[in-house]
Amino acid sequence: MYEDKTLVCKECGSEFVFTAGEQEFYAEKGFVNEPQRCKNCRDSRKSTAKSTRELFTATCASCGKEAKVPFRPREDRPVYCSDCFAKMKEE
């Protein structure tokens, strides 16, 4: 049903293959647009976005260790370090 397509990256101009498997995955997820960037450019954009994320320091409400979180902690809500949060999810 799907066939591999060669596309051109809008960022670097190189050609890349949009495989039949990727096309099927996109269709299953309901995506209607084809990718516009090659894997290297997509990965580069993702890592840039992640590195610019502001992290806030908070004290874990369970163990008291320092925790880095991607949201501004509020006084009326507890914040947990990743270890304590994982333990709570298991329970």
Burial class (CB in 10 A: 0-12, 13-18, 19+), 38: buried
How big is the chain by its Cα radius of gyration, in Å?
Answer: 20
Strand partners, 68: 57
Tens of pLDDT, residues 39-79: 999 999 888 766 677 889 999 999 999 999 989 999 899 99
Tens of pLDDT, residues 3-22: 999 999 999 999 999 999 99
Rounded Cα–Cα distance for residues 49 and 43 (Å) = 10
Tens of pLDDT, residues 17-27: 999 999 999 99
Closest by Cα among 77, 35, 38 to 56: 77
What's the residue count for the chain?
Answer: 91
Contact (Cβ atoms closer than 8 angstroms) between residue 4 and residue 18:
yes
